[in-house]
Amino acid sequence: MNSSYVTGFNTGTPITESPNFYQNQAIVGSSFTGAYSLTANWQNNLNTPFVYIDFYEAGPIPIKEFCSNGDIWLQCRVYTTRKNILVAQLKSTAVNSFTLTNGVISLLYPASKISITSQYKIRIKIFEAGTTKYVQESSRSSADSSLSPITTSSIFSAYADKYGSNRGRYETNMFLSFNPSGQFFYNNLVTGSFLNIVHSGLSQRTHCEIWVQN
């Protein structure tokens, strides 16, 4: 790449959040109801540049409203199925910054807590349309300790089997019902997601089965 085509983000804090999305402890899949903005700035003005943002696994999960203002953006795409990515094109022919805001739309934290700490960041790349100019990427990290797995006991219930009995010498069956409320169990090796059932106060356990209903 010709070095004369390479510019960089501004020094200091080229990417800022207001407020810090992970400033408070949050449970996976929960909502962030306050106003949020993400701002980035770089050194030189560019002509209708493309903005590529990878939110990784840390969130916030991007929404179309981030870049739907036609006075500011020419194009806007948001992907959230397997990756949290926003790709958009600024309308200005001489621009060196942008700001994303959610307005009155609530944002969501990711559906699971990933175990790879390096994924808790926002990475931004800028490309100038119609040229080979490339603005070097910049990123902002978040604390993975601020995101917690599901911990509330209100989603877990135990029921006696209607065909069972507590008569002597007859083992009582028990149904364990778990409602993850729209959350997902991703690859355990990557995300650390798992369902942990701890039995206490039981005198005997001879058989255990776990059924998962999609």
Q: What is the pLDDT of residue 1?
A: 45
Backbone angles phi, psi at 157, to 5 degrees: -140, 150
CB 24 within 8 A of CB 31: no
CA-derived radius of gyration, the chain: 24
Q: What is the pLDDT of residue 121?
A: 87
Q: Could you say which DSSP state residue 171 is in?
A: P
Q: Which amino acid is at 74?
A: L
Tell which residue, 134, 180, 123, has the closest CA to residue 7.
134
CATH hierarchy code of domain 3-147: 2.60.40
Q: What is the pLDDT of residue 73?
A: 97
Annotate 104-167 with DSSP letters as a single string.
TPPEE--SS--S-GGGSEEEEEEE-TTSS-EEEEEEEE--GGGEE----GGGEEEEE-TT----
CA distance 59 to 148: 13
List the domain boundaries for the chain.
3-147, 150-214
How many other C-beta atoms are found inside a 10 Å radius of the C-beta of residue 197? 10
Q: What is the pLDDT of residue 62?
A: 95
Helix, strand, coil % over all residues of the chain, rounded to 5: 10, 35, 55
Q: What is the pLDDT of residue 85?
A: 95
Beta-bridge mates of residue 18: 37
pLDDT tens digits for the chain (214 residues)? 445 566 789 888 899 989 888 888 888 888 988 899 999 999 989 999 999 999 987 779 999 999 999 999 999 999 998 789 999 999 999 999 999 999 889 999 887 777 778 888 899 999 988 877 778 889 888 888 888 877 655 566 666 665 555 555 556 666 666 666 656 666 666 666 666 666 666 655 555 565 655 4
Residues 6 or more apart whose CB falls under 8 angstroms from that of 195 comprise 178, 185, 210
